[in-house]
């Protein structure tokens, strides 16, 4: 079974990407951090395309959370292949740069860069072994 994994997929661009990939026949792994209500709305929209949608709530900026969620999913679903990874998760701080605190800056970097590394590491070996895969960042 072929899947597309979309991080930050509960709303906005992530939702639009999930629905589009579902229309192309991909089953969807939908990651989100905390907005379960919006994730359920996206799941319903994806399932209208006749594909499966599994919700994976975890913080992509946390290596431990990513290891537990994705590692667990891959272990449980050994016959499934993640063919497409969309690294969409991100946060922004609505503040002028000069007023950003170090903690706010760290949050932006963790979600934008560390998350890319943590999530991509989990799917890259499978893509290389299959000699096929797409990573969109």
Q: What's the number of domains the chain is made of?
A: 1
Residue (of 70, 7, 66, 85) closest to 42 by Cα position? 7
8 within 8 A of 89, measured Cβ to Cβ: yes
Which residues in the chain show pLDDT less than 70? none
Distance CA 42, CA 10 (A): 6
pTM of the model: 0.93
The pLDDT, as a whole number, for residue 5 is: 99
- Host domain of residue 96: 2-136
The pLDDT, as a whole number, for residue 120 is: 97
CATH of the domain at 103: 3.40.50.720
């Amino acid at each position: 079974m072929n899947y597309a994994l979309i991080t930050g997929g509960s709303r906005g661009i992530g939702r639009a990407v999930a629905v589009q990939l579902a229309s192309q026949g991909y089953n969807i792994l939908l990651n989100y951090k905390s907005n379960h209500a919006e994730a359920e709305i996206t799941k319903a929209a994806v399932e209208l395309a006749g594909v499966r949608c599994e919700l994976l709530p975890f913080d992509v900026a946390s290596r431990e959370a990513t290891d537990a969620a994705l590692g667990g999913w891959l272990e449980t679903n050994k016959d499934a292949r993640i063919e497409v990874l969309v690294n969409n998760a991100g946060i922004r701080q609505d503040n002028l740069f000069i007023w950003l605190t170090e903690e706010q800056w760290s949050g932006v970097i963790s979600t934008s860069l560390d998350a890319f590394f943590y999530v991509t590491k989990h799917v890259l070996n499978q893509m290389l072994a299959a000699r096929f895969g797409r990573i969109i960042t």
